[in-house]
Amino acid sequence: MEDSISGKIRQRIRKSKSGKIFFAKDFADIGNDELINKALFRLERNKTLVRLAHGIYLYPFIDKELGIMFPAPDTIARAIAKRDNARILPTGNHAMNLLGLSTQVPMNVVYMTDGSPRKVSIGKRKITFKKTSPRNFTYKGKIIPLIVAALKTIGKDNVNPEYINRLEEILSETEDKQILLNDANHAPAWIKKILIPLIDKNE
């Protein structure tokens, strides 16, 4: 029975592209939790899968020179959020890095979420989901909430011309102007004061 379940799971995995993240619940239609977990353990042991964290597995892409290519923490975080039907927003230095406002790649990344708070360790890195108010998800677009998170990290008194130039560049390339203006109006007052003139430049 267990061999049969392992075979069915292996078959489903190999129909996917390498680099895909799987969760135990992805195979709930094949067997019960205990048998699925045993099968996933066996598939990890024979190197079909790589265990990223408890209940989270990777169908690895293996580079001949570099070995296993692990997905970015943001990719893993978004896969977890999709599984949990939750929304997430990057915060802190991670938000800055995603926007190109910082070259620092943080070892530990933090997201606000309307789902369950949790911490997930991926090797030496850690992904933290912090419960936040639903009002942080009132934005229609994706770019303004990311900018808001980054600017909160930078701080009102530390927003220099270099940051402003980068923000102008980002805002000129992304999303509909009306969505940007709508979302900017939901930002804290001091951030709104920075963003509105930059958005208005986009004609």
Q: For 122-160, how does the pLDDT look when each residue is reduced to its tens digit (9 = 90+)?
A: 877 899 999 998 888 889 999 999 999 999 999 999 999
Beta-bridge partners for 159: none
Q: What is the pTM of this model?
A: 0.80
How high is the pLDDT of residue 7?
87
Q: What is the pLDDT of residues 49-107, one digit of tens each?
A: 999 888 899 999 888 888 888 888 889 999 999 999 999 999 999 999 999 999 988 88
How high is the pLDDT of residue 44?
93
Element (H, E) at 43: helix 33-45
How high is the pLDDT of residue 40?
93
Q: Is the pLDDT of residue 47 over 60?
A: yes
Give Cα separations from 197 to 177, 185, 193 (angstroms): 12, 12, 7
What mean pLDDT do residues 150-174 have? 94
How high is the pLDDT of residue 67?
85
Domain boundaries, given as residue ranges, for the chain: 2-67, 72-97+105-134, 138-203
How high is the pLDDT of residue 1?
52
For 90, the 3-state DSSP assignment is strand
Tokens of 1: 């029975």
39/35 Cα distance (integer angstroms):
6
Q: What is the pLDDT of residues 10-24, one digit of tens each?
A: 999 989 988 999 999
111/157 Cα distance (integer angstroms):
24
How high is the pLDDT of residue 2?
52
Q: What is the pLDDT of residues 106-115, one digit of tens each?
A: 889 999 999 9
How high is the pLDDT of residue 3?
63
User: To which residue do tokens 């067997």 refer?
Assistant: 31
Q: How confident is the model at residue 203 (pLDDT cuts 50, 70, 90)?
A: low
Domain 2-67: top CATH class: mainly alpha
How high is the pLDDT of residue 174?
75
